[in-house]
Structure 1
Amino acid sequence: MGTGSTRRGVRRVVAATALGLLLTGTAAAPAVSAETIRQEQWYLDRMQAENMWKTSTGRGVTVAVIDTGVDGTNPDLIGRVLPGKNYATDQPGDEHTDYDGHGTGMAGLIAATGANGGGRGSFGLAPGAKILPIRLPESGKGANLIEGNKVFNGALAPAIRYATDHGAKVINISQAAREDTPEVAEAVKYALKKGSLIFAGVGNDAEQGNLLMYPAATPGVVGVAAVGKNLHRTDFSQYGPQVDMAAPGEDMVHACGGKTGLCETSGTSDATALASASAALIWSVHPTWTNNQVLRVMLNTIGGPTDGAKRNDAIGYGIVRPRIALQNPGDPGPADVYPLPDLAEAQQSASPAPTPSAKESEPAKAVAATKGDDGTPWLGIGLGVGALGVIGVAAAVVVRKRRTTAPPTPQPQQHPTPQQGFGPPPVMPGSIPPPPGRDSGTF
């Protein structure tokens, strides 16, 4: 997600969009030189995926991907994609027709099986999970900010309800808008009451406004930030009280839509997909647990901030570690208590639009709201996509949709000096200062 931000990477430059999805970028050097695509998926190595798959592959868990559609004919997704729902009546085809490629990419990060090329393809973190595709309209066609938000939120609320009613334990939303609606907030409550978990990316515009994005900031939604290979918050990943956890989201090689069926992307979209897949891995082993218990175990086994704080605005309570949750989950706690503080605070508040405030308490204590309101149309969260050929990455056209309004200039923040070897990356001239505390973790 983003509002037109650009991130400079080692191997390529990726561009975000203003209205719509952040999907295309350029590849400056080949990404796949190894014998298999799996060998390029660094994040699966760091998360020790093969060891986890001995215990769980996510089998028996359905993950809804609310996005641009999911192409079930992708070789790495054959047999993983269920019939779903199409809300994008402005586009040809149905929920299995990905008009952008983004939704297929999220599904690939979650449930790809590596079947491409006779077993030489890409894997998702939970290759045994099933994908419920729910296609939203391309909101970038909205004439203005109000219309763009209306298009997105008008489809998102029923999409969440559909996912819940059709067996999705986990709901992945790698898209966002700059305002919430009562209908979306009620749909989130409905999903939680029915037993689902919702994960959403916090956005990719940390350097270009860092505005609050929804539904990541909606009460009851788990907001996911991105970390890079160094396990620090990426420079593009937005930060603030809406961040509940983080996952890898930089230089991610995975199955996606497009001619080659393989992409390399960076963004909080990708991180959200891994958080969703992590929940699927845990739920598969503990099918009798409630959504609250699965989330509580994720939070209790997370690789948290190492600066002594319970959480920080960079990575929330920490980097998701399903490996630890599978090895030693501990006490899942009460079945009927949502473990993050924002939902109970929002329910207690007399204000219809709670203002954002930092989450400084333990996850189980409901003392802090995380909501705000600003207002622009929805944005997809994948920062950039370069199509991968069999032996390399084919350069893609960089697309940047024109920003409709400029974000307000953020005020500088004062932060303590980080300890040596940790902490946020240095602040470049004109960029937004990163939040305090060490934003690293371990898998």
Structure 2
Amino acid sequence: MHASEIWEKSTGKGISVAVIDGGVNPSTPSLKGQVVKGVDVAGIAGDETDDYDGHGTTMAELIAGTGKGGGIQGLAPGAKIIPVRTLTAEMRDKEAPDRLHTLDKAIRASADSDAQIINVSLGQDAWDDDTREAVEYAAKKGKMMFSSVGNEAKGLNHVDYPAAYPDVVGVAATDSEGQVASFSEHGDEVHLAAPGVKVPSWCDESFKRYCVTQGTSQATAIASASAALIWSAHPDWTANQVLRVMFESAGRGDDWKDKVSTYLGHGIVRPNAAITRGIGKPGDPNLSPLTNEKTGGTVPGKAGAPSAPASSQPPKPKPGSNATVAGSSKSTSDGGQLGLIIGIGAAVVIAVGAFVVVRKRRSA
């Protein structure tokens, strides 16, 4: 992604990203000074700074980590993180088995915050009216929401919610060769793709070491960071304009330049192409590129000056409950922190050199 070139023009400064997850630990070396006051709607012991399993902190680092102390270097290190803790399935099973999910409350809290971007690296199996209404509420307030499509391509392969809602950008995962990841779910709800294989992540809530992981969760965080970079460079754009440029500047295979893939959507995120090469036209600030409907085009707060260099009908629900589950899969291996950062940490910001030849296209 030529991050060093991007950072000469934009680091994400002036942009805040709400990370809806099981909490974000603001005390890791890479996140010190990067996390502002958030919200806890989980309703269990602790608050939004108590990360239940390390997942939310990883997403925050992938977005805005500084890389200090051997930690993850995020793609938008000038951005700020607003942690919004929700009740994930794992948390509910262990802490509050009689409680319902809180994702709708988390989305509304994010929409009411100063965040321009909402990152949801988790999902639900089924349509939920309260969550759908919360998504609409956020869209009307001019927020941009990215959500993981899910990791069950070899199983049910039914894109998770909220990624499957019309106003949400569904994000798929690719490997280091630009191939769609075998686990990444596909369908008409996929809008963009980003790297999501062999990504360093905190192993657990002890925050002692990183593991090698994969998932559409990680891809979603990188997509959110890409949006932060573009929005920071163009603070007067609306969410519609930022997203339209992301679509037009995304990396595509030669055989589907005029199509939208059910596997990679409009393509693989390329913030460098948008920021340093000017690819993509912002277009109508009031027209959603997701729904082609008028949205009002609200600019949710001024992002400030461009940043300085850094120091319809829904698909049928899945069978089962509407429990909120983390979007990432289990780690594939683990090891000491230093080795992981040297060996694969740079993959977070390295260019995707090849693009997938899609196996299936959407109908025109």
TM-score (norm 2): 0.82
Match of 1:304 among 247, 252, 264: 252
Q: Tell me what 1:380 maps to.
A: 326
Matches within 5 A, 1:404-419: none
Q: Is residue 105–residue 263 contact of structure 1 (8 Å, CA) maintained in 2?
A: no
Instruction: List per-residue Cα deviations over 1:86-110 (Å, max 9, x = no partner).
Output: 12223x3210010111000100110
Task: Kindly state the Cα deviation for residue 170 of structure 1 after the two structures are TM-superposed.
Answer: 0.4
- RMSD of aligned Cα (Å): 2.3
Q: Tell me what 2:40 maps to.
A: 86
Q: Tell me what 1:112 maps to.
A: 65
Question: Which range moves more in the overlay, 376-385 or 129-138?
Answer: 376-385
Task: Kindly state the Cα deviation for residue 187 of structure 1 after the two structures are TM-superposed.
Answer: 1.3
SS in 1 for 2:360: coil
**5+ unaligned residues in a row in structure 2: which ranges?**
295-311, 341-354
Measure, in 2, the Cα distance between the counterparts of 1:110 and 1:175. 15
SS in 2 for 1:171: strand
Matches within 5 A, 1:258-273: 258-273=206-221
Q: Tell me what 2:281 maps to.
A: 331
1:225 pairs with 2:172? yes
Residue type matched to 1:111 in 2?
A
Instruction: List per-residue Cα deviations over 1:195-251 (Å, max 9, x = no partner).
Output: 110000000000112123100001100000000011011100000111011000000
- Summarize the Cα distance change of 1:388–1:58 in structure 2 as closer, same or farther, 3 Å threshold: farther
1:54 pairs with 2:8? yes
Question: Which range moves more in the overlay, 268-277 or 310-319?
Answer: 310-319
SS in 1 for 2:173: strand
What count of residue pairs does the alignment treat as equivalent? 322
Matches within 5 A, 1:185-196: 185-196=132-143
Q: Percent identity?
A: 43
Question: Which range moves more in the overlay, 271-280 or 335-344?
Answer: 335-344
- Summarize the Cα distance change of 1:67–1:51 in structure 2 as closer, same or farther, 3 Å threshold: same
Q: Tell me what 1:29 maps to.
A: none
Task: Kindly state the Cα deviation for residue 388 of structure 1 after the two structures are TM-superposed.
Answer: 4.3
Matches within 5 A, 1:294-443: 294-308=242-256, 309-327=258-276, 328-341=278-291, 371-375=315-319, 376=321, 377-385=323-331, 388-392=335-339, 423=357, 435-436=359-360
- Summarize the Cα distance change of 1:71–1:422 in structure 2 as closer, same or farther, 3 Å threshold: closer
**Rg larger in structure:** 1
SS in 2 for 1:106: helix
Task: Kindly state the Cα deviation for residue 276 of structure 1 after the two structures are TM-superposed.
Answer: 0.4
Measure, in 1, the Cα distance between the counterparts of 2:313 and 2:142. 22
Instruction: List per-residue Cα deviations over 1:32-90 (Å, max 9, x = no partner).
Output: xxxxxxxxxxxxxxx11111111111011000000010000000000001111112223
- Summarize the Cα distance change of 1:258–1:306 in structure 2 as closer, same or farther, 3 Å threshold: farther
Matches within 5 A, 1:6-25: none
Residue type matched to 1:277 in 2?
A
Task: Kindly state the Cα deviation for residue 182 of structure 1 after the two structures are TM-superposed.
Answer: 1.8
Measure, in 2, the Cα distance between the counterparts of 1:326 and 1:306. 22
Residue type matched to 2:33 in 1?
G
Residue type matched to 2:285 in 1?
A
Matches within 5 A, 1:193-272: 193-254=140-201, 257-272=205-220
Residue type matched to 2:19 in 1?
V
- Summarize the Cα distance change of 1:219–1:343 in structure 2 as closer, same or farther, 3 Å threshold: farther
Match of 1:131 among 73, 81, 84: 81
Task: Kindly state the Cα deviation for residue 306 of structure 1 after the two structures are TM-superposed.
Answer: 2.8
Measure, in 1, the Cα distance between the counterparts of 2:293 and 2:159. 17
- Which 4+ stretches in 1 moved above 6 angstroms? none
Residue type matched to 1:264 in 2?
V
Residue type matched to 1:423 in 2?
V
Matches within 5 A, 1:147-158: 151-152=100-101, 155-158=102-105
Q: Is residue 52–residue 91 contact of structure 2 (8 Å, CA) maintained in 1?
A: no
Instruction: List per-residue Cα deviations over 1:380-437 (Å, max 9, x = no partner).
Output: 11112355424446xxxxxxxxxxxxxxxxxxxxxxxxxxx9635xxxxxxxxxx415
- Summarize the Cα distance change of 1:219–1:311 in structure 2 as closer, same or farther, 3 Å threshold: same
SS in 1 for 2:134: helix
TM-score (norm 1): 0.68
Measure, in 2, the Cα distance between the counterparts of 1:293 and 1:422. 26
Q: Is residue 62–residue 218 contact of structure 2 (8 Å, CA) maintained in 1?
A: yes
Instruction: List per-residue Cα deviations over 1:14-37 (Å, max 9, x = no partner).
Output: xxxxxxxxxxxxxxxxxxxxxxxx
Measure, in 1, the Cα distance between the counterparts of 2:293 and 2:127. 14
Measure, in 1, the Cα distance between the counterparts of 2:32 and 2:202. 11
Q: Is residue 258–residue 387 contact of structure 1 (8 Å, CA) maintained in 2?
A: no
1:95 pairs with 2:48? yes
Q: Is residue 343–residue 369 contact of structure 1 (8 Å, CA) maintained in 2?
A: no
Question: Which range moves more in the overlay, 301-310 or 177-186?
Answer: 301-310
Measure, in 1, the Cα distance between the counterparts of 2:153 and 2:337. 34
Measure, in 2, the Cα distance between the counterparts of 1:210 and 1:138. 21
Task: Kindly state the Cα deviation for residue 160 of structure 1 after the two structures are TM-superposed.
Answer: 1.1
Q: Is residue 246–residue 280 contact of structure 2 (8 Å, CA) maintained in 1?
A: no
Measure, in 2, the Cα distance between the counterparts of 1:185 and 1:370. 10
1:69 pairs with 2:10? no
- Summarize the Cα distance change of 1:283–1:141 in structure 2 as closer, same or farther, 3 Å threshold: closer
Measure, in 1, the Cα distance between the counterparts of 2:335 and 2:170. 29
Task: Kindly state the Cα deviation for residue 369 of structure 1 after the two structures are TM-superposed.
Answer: 5.7
Measure, in 2, the Cα distance between the counterparts of 1:130 and 1:388. 29
Measure, in 1, the Cα distance between the counterparts of 2:103 and 2:197. 26
